[in-house]
Amino acid sequence: MAKKIVKKVDVKKVSKLEVSAKVKELFEGLGIEVGEGSEFGFTEGTLVLKLEKCDIQVKLIAPKSGIERYEK
């Protein structure tokens, strides 16, 4: 009988991708062209904003492994 492998959901990754999609929608609503970071060799969820004079990279970062919240 084969052993069942259950994949654990990476909550931080899922959350970052959800926020990234909302940020992308926000900037596109403001008339700013938004590229996916993976097209430029950046990590998944990173956005590249195409502004009039230059590009801006927007990178969402979650707390390091084992930590769920940032402390002040």
Question: Residue 67: pLDDT band by 50, 70, 90 thresholds?
Answer: confident
When divided into structural domains, the chain yields a total of 1
pTM: 0.78
Residue 41 lies in a domain: yes
Per the domain annotation, does 52 fall within a domain? yes
How far, rounded to the nearest angstrom, does the alpha carbon of residue 61 sit from its chain's CA centroid? Answer: 8
User: What residue has token string 């590229």?
Assistant: 35
Predicted pLDDT at 1:
62
* Mean pLDDT of the region 55-68: 91
pLDDT, residue 41, reads 93
Look at residue 69 and tell me if it is in a domain. Answer: no
What range defines the domain where residue 47 resides?
34-61
| Cβ neighbours of residue 32 closer than 8 Å, sequence gap 6 or more | 49, 50, 51
For 1-54, how does the pLDDT look when each residue is reduced to its tens digit (9 = 90+)?
A: 677 787 888 888 899 889 999 999 999 999 999 999 999 999 888 999 999 999
